[in-house]
Structure 1
Amino acid sequence: MSTLDLRGRPLRDLRVSLTDRCNFRCGYCMPRELFGAGHQYLAADELLTFDEVEEVVRTAVDLGVRTVRLTGGEPLLRPGVADLVARLAAIGDLDLAMTTNGVLLGRHAAALRAAGLDRMTVSLDGIDDATFRRASDSPFGVSAVLDGIDAAVEAGFPRVKVNAVVRRGINEDQVVPLVEHFRGSGHVLRFIEFMDVGSTNGWTGSEVVPAAEIRAAIEARWPVEELPPSRHGEVAQRLRLRDGSAEVGLISSMSSPFCDTCTRARLTADGRVHTCLFSSTGTDVRGLLRGSRRPGDLHTLLRRVWGGRDDRYSEVRSALTRRADAPVEMSYIGG
């Protein structure tokens, strides 16, 4: 069953956050000044249970979702995550993916693959230890992430996507070294523009490295050719080094918005559904799941939420500013 929003975009992808905790303090996500020792994380009973996650996913599949991506925080900090993967895999007709920082992957990769996880994405913002530690604000070295990637390959994941958020003054000098490192590995490296997500990352346009600049840095070293999108709603511009040694993706949500093809919703760890990556409020489903309800109420709620969606924040911001360093009021977003 296909569920369309007000702009005719189908619901196809659901990001499911399993926890608000992380063992990194990346400046673009969980900066230490806001997520330090005194930060109050969600209590265990505030998190959606696996039963509740499964019910939301089953309902979303009925409404058209075909890809579910497990995220966090750091999803591997949630105990029993492989058990959840097995439950979601049993739904059938579903592409199951996970995004992780990779440092715990060595302990979990085999169990996740055996449980039915289809794809793995690992975040890695630098290939030298100094840059990586500065970007992640963590004590881990690059080798911990690379070991996790190797564990994923050994577990049977055919290839791994490696995501790098590029932030000027932090790691823009890592673009070429990252490509050089992963050439010939079979993994797909994707560079993501620093985004103004939420209200905690201190985003300024001056720190955005546009995808065109990232591409130019790569092309100065290797000739590239463009590849077609792998599927409808593909967020990355796909490039391939002409010698065939690497595929690179450029995710340009700041400089070249792709709202018109966005098919994604996200479910937070405490049970709120957001219909835009940039939204700040969302719709509570945990209350419905734990309250008095009739059969079909969750289906009705999710259909109403997606059917009333008109989000196009990035397009509006781009049209209003035409320059990366002009602020846009986040209250535009209600979903």
Structure 2
Amino acid sequence: MPPSGVPLPPASAALTDSEYVRLASVVMACAGGAGKIRLTGGEPTLHPTLVPLVASLAKLTSGTVGITTNGLVLHRSLPALLAAGLGSVNVSLDSVDRGKFRAMTRRDALPTLLKSLRLCREHTDNIKVNCVVMRGFNDGPGDFEGMLRFGEELDVDVRFIEYMPFSDNGWDGESKYMPYSEMLSAISQTSYALSPLPPTDPHDTSKWHSHPSSPRRVGFIASMSTPFCSSCNRLRITADGSLKVCLFSNSEVSLRDAMRDGVSDAELEAILRGALGGKERRWGGSGELEELRERSKGNRAMTAIGG
């Protein structure tokens, strides 16, 4: 989160719940009803009608409806969300060290987040904890061991994510970016001995590992060092209704404007398929990390895209 916060668009720019549901129904029709729907951020638990929105979306898919959240107020709505059909929860947690958590988030809220996580674990086991690793901040063997021990104690999957370049997030290459291979090297210095698991889903973005002391998995999202663009089947629709076929692409198509201009569902599907046809082979069209870094300056901030 930038020190100055993030600019909030006017409410009229955001999709309405009925527009969310309509777009989801068109996407699900394209996917044969087999896709997953995930509500990300900003912070989805602040959406005033999140519970009925989840209930409406859950009726559209044979997959799961999930959320990615910072977890700070998840405990307030979790029982109602689960009853509405919420099937999975991803929680962003970059450190279990209270001081580092406060430095990263600018609030001393780690106990509140842990309260939400423990409550969540009482009701579902479909939980992943996501940790973005930044060199010089949470990249030491002790940081990895603390996160792995936390995942083991709570009985949840933990995923370590390579730091990625986006507008205004301070990504400057080697000084903060830690590749997957170095994460494994740091973990090898801890008491955790990881073993790679064979892939079970050709579209999975995570490299999964096991460790002997827990039935839960440890994952790595290595989008920088080992791009998985050729197998990625994810689409992102921003809160203001723009379609991004790649997280790193500067190209967007406004589905909100198309809907408000009166297009039919068939025309919406044609727009979707046209955008998919223009998807680049790697990193939104970038060939090297430095090129991706430069292109990221014209992209949205991650807080405006969603995870």
Instruction: Please report the TM-score for the alignment, with normalisation by the length of structure 1.
Output: 0.82
2:9 to 42, 45, 68: 42
- How much identity, in percent, do the aligned residues show? 33
Structure 1 residue 57, shift from structure 2 partner:
0.5
1:63 to 30, 48, 52: 30
Distance in 1, Cα, partners of 2:292 & 2:261: 40
Work out whether 1:153 is the aligned partner of 2:124: no
| Corresponding residue number in structure 2 for 1:162 | 129
Q: Which amino acid aligns with 2:138?
A: N
| Corresponding residue number in structure 1 for 2:279 | 309
| Corresponding residue number in structure 2 for 1:126 | 95
| Corresponding residue number in structure 2 for 1:233 | 203
Structure 1 residue 280, shift from structure 2 partner:
2.5
Residues 9-65 of structure 1: per-residue CA shift (max 9 Å, x gap): xxxxxxxxxxxxxxxx2xxxxx124x3xxx531111111001000011110011116
Contact 2:286 2:295 in 1 (8 A): no
Distance 1:228 1:184, change over 3 A: farther
Work out whether 1:329 is the aligned partner of 2:288: no
For structure 2, the residue ranges without an aligned partner over 5 or more in a row are 300-307
Distance 1:108 1:331, change over 3 A: closer
1:192 to 141, 145, 161: 161
Contact 1:176 1:217 in 2 (8 A): no
Distance 1:300 1:166, change over 3 A: same
| Corresponding residue number in structure 1 for 2:221 | 251
Distance in 2, Cα, partners of 1:107 & 1:213: 38
Instruction: Please report the TM-score for the alignment, with normalisation by the length of structure 2.
Output: 0.89
| Corresponding residue number in structure 2 for 1:217 | 186
1:51 to 11, 14, 18: 18
Distance in 2, Cα, partners of 1:73 & 1:289: 23
Q: Which amino acid aligns with 1:121?
A: N
Q: Which amino acid aligns with 2:48?
A: P
Structure 1 residue 202, shift from structure 2 partner:
2.0
Contact 2:242 2:255 in 1 (8 A): yes
More helix by share: 2
| Corresponding residue number in structure 1 for 2:78 | 109
Q: SS of the residue aligned with 1:196?
A: coil
Work out whether 1:136 is the aligned partner of 2:101: no
For structure 1, the residue ranges without an aligned partner over 5 or more in a row are 1-24, 26-30
Q: What is the RMSD of the two structures over their aligned residues, measured on CA atoms?
A: 2.2
Distance 1:164 1:78, change over 3 A: same
Contact 1:168 1:207 in 2 (8 A): yes
Higher relative contact order (CA 8 A, sep 6+): 1
Residues 111-169 of structure 1: per-residue CA shift (max 9 Å, x gap): 111000110010101111100011122x2332111111112123x22231000001112
Distance in 1, Cα, partners of 2:296 & 2:168: 15
